[in-house]
Structure 1
């Protein structure tokens, strides 16, 4: 009788451990999804700012057509890959950041533009959004790290394998040239 009670107690404890591990995996997977959604929110904000910034600069720098076209093309490309994985998304976002740097460099040549209140407000908004994007990417990568660690470590790796939990991809820049921040000065 005592042996049966001990066996039942062990089974109940193992079952509770199983439930705890499974729920932890689900929670971490949902945290990764939420972190990815936060990146989308910030990128959408940036996509909405770009046309206003381009139009403001266009008014002062009419002969810089190629720069404006490149910004628009990079923005559209980044929006088209919005449902792609982190690697594809990182590449498109890196290209967009580079052309935005060139657009802001064009603005450097126009002192009256640099003094325009609308341009200054848009520039501040873009800077703030870029910072939020950075923080969102960092949070996403931290969430992916926690999730991937959990599904690869014993004993949760057994439960993860049983229920099809798979490793998530980090949001990282793979092209070395994209790691270099554009140098723009507004002084």
Structure 2
């Protein structure tokens, strides 16, 4: 009878150890997702803070409606959920591409050192956003896989861990290319 008791104790201890390990993995990925989202949020705020400078530079050449950027405080306070932020980010990205396309019509603006610095800063920020988004999506994928895995999905259900959404911008919005006008001086050189 002694070996049976030892076997039961071993199975019980192994089950508890597995349960604790699985729970801790959920917590680890949940925290990593939050940390990765924070990285995205910082990069998005940096980009959003750069937008008024771009607008001011372009407005010197043409008045342009920038309603999408007027709700800056609502966007930056983080009160909206991730899925809403992704939707808002798609709209802002589309408007920003249109704003940069508008700058194409003004050779003096494109040659301005200030505007070139702003464009370079924007490019660096876009790279940071992409890296942060890849990191976030990687952790979301691992977390979601863990939630769907047997038998960990029982722990997920018991403790309320739910699948997370990926941070993927609307592909249709990303693929839309802004119409770029070429100045007459370029056309006359051909």
Pick closer, same or farther for the CA change 1:74–1:181 going to 2, 3 Å: farther
Gaps of 5+ in 2: none
Aligned to 2:174: 179
Mapped pair 1:86 → 2:87:
no
| 2:141 counterpart (126, 141, 145) | 145
Aligned 8 A contact 1:74 1:95 in 2? no
For normalisation by structure 1, the TM-score amounts to 0.86
Aligned to 1:57: 58
d(CA) in 1 for partners of 2:58, 2:68: 12
Pick closer, same or farther for the CA change 1:105–1:77 going to 2, 3 Å: farther
- Secondary structure at the aligned position of 1:8 is classed as helix
Gaps of 5+ in 1: none
Aligned-pair distance for 1:124? 0.5
Pick closer, same or farther for the CA change 1:178–1:95 going to 2, 3 Å: same
Aligned 8 A contact 1:78 1:96 in 2? no
| Equivalent residues in 2 for 1:1-187, closer than 5 Å | 1-59=2-60, 61=61, 63-66=62-65, 69-70=66-67, 72-73=69-70, 75=72, 78-79=75-76, 82-174=78-170, 177-183=172-178
Provide Cα deviations, 1:79-116, integer angstroms capped at 9, x if missing partner. Answer: 36x33233321221111111111111121111111111
RMSD: 2.3
* Count of aligned positions: 181
